[in-house]
Amino acid sequence: MATLDMESGRTLDSALAAADRALRAVFAPARSSRPTPQPAAAPQELSDSERRTAAALMRVNHTGELAAQALYHGQALFAHSEATRRVLMEAARGESDHLAWCETRLGELAARPSLLNPFWYAGSFAIGALAALMGDRASLGFVAETERQVEGHLDSHLGRLPPSDSRSRAILQTMRSEEIAHGASATRAGGVPLPRPVRALMRRTAAVMTGTAYWI
Ligand SMILES: [Fe+2]
Ligand SMILES: [Fe+2]
């Protein structure tokens, strides 16, 4: 009985910590543990239409970083081993810095984050929790696949950003190299490749999210 009480106490603690992380991620101003990446040369002025395009793209990236963080928080809450939980929380910390960088850039571009962010956080957290129930190796494989898809998405944004927006570009380039590192560490920790239909479903879900966040 005592063991059961301790166990349920731990579960309640973890659930409260997860709720606290969720509220901070969605509603508190994002804080980075590292400075925002800067371009090597002095940035140029953007025209109005360039600013609007850059803002829409950075809003998508901001939502993507929030969703990645929510996935990993959901996966961490239900991870079976402490080692897997550590990999997930380490990746989530990286996404939290990325979120703060995107938020800073959105402010510089005089734009706001997506209004649907609470919805995307909740949905992604639930998907993360489901992924965790498939076992740690599949859950780590889910991280590797998420990061691979984010890398492809960042490549496409690096091509679509106005050429003069070197500030957003510096942020996305740093994010891209860190997403590759997150994916590699999940694979090293034992992540297995996911079945093709799961990968396709992940791609379709992400497309709905990124397509919506561009506008709203
Ligand atoms: Fe990220
Ligand atoms: Fe990542």
Per-residue three-class SS string for the chain: CHHHHHHHHHHHHHHHHHHHHHHHHHHCCCCCCCCCCCCCCCCCCCCHHHHHHHHHHHHHHHHHHHHHHHHHHHHHHCCCCHHHHHHHHHHHHHHHHHHHHHHHHHHHCCCCCCCCHHHHHHHHHHHHHHHHHCCHHHHHHHHHHHHHHHHHHHHHHHHHCCCCCHHHHHHHHHHHHHHHHHHHHHHHCCCCCCCHHHHHHHHHHHHHHHHHHCCC
Considering the chain, what is the average pLDDT of its residues?
90
State yes or no: pLDDT of 2 exceeds 60: no
State yes or no: pLDDT of 1 exceeds 60: no
Cβ distance 26 to 121 under 8 Å?
yes
Calculate how far, in angstroms, residue 8's C-alpha sits from the geometric centre of ligand 1. 32
Burial track 43-74 (b if 16+ CB lie within 10 A, e otherwise): eeebeeebbebbbebbbbbbbbbbbbbbbbbb
Q: How high is the pLDDT of residue 135?
A: 95
Q: What percent of the chain has pLDDT over 90?
A: 72
pTM: 0.87
Asked which of 30-34, 112-116, 160-164 is least confident by mean pLDDT, the reply is: 30-34
Q: Please report, as a single letter, which amino acid is at residue 57.
A: L
Q: How high is the pLDDT of residue 28?
A: 76
Q: How high is the pLDDT of residue 22?
A: 79
In Å, how far are 22, 40, 97, 107, 155 from 37, measured between CA atoms? 25, 10, 11, 15, 17
State yes or no: pLDDT of 90 exceeds 90: yes
State yes or no: pLDDT of 91 exceeds 80: yes
Q: How high is the pLDDT of residue 32?
A: 85
**Tens of pLDDT, residues 106-140:** 999 999 999 999 999 999 999 999 999 999 999 99
Calculate how far, in angstroms, residue 4's C-alpha sits from the geometric centre of ligand 2. 35
Calculate how far, in angstroms, residue 13's C-alpha sits from the geometric centre of ligand 1. 27
Calculate how far, in angstroms, residue 154's C-alpha sits from the geometric centre of ligand 2. 11
Q: How high is the pLDDT of residue 10?
A: 65
Calculate how far, in angstroms, residue 146's C-alpha sits from the geometric centre of ligand 1. 10
State yes or no: pLDDT of 212 exceeds 90: no
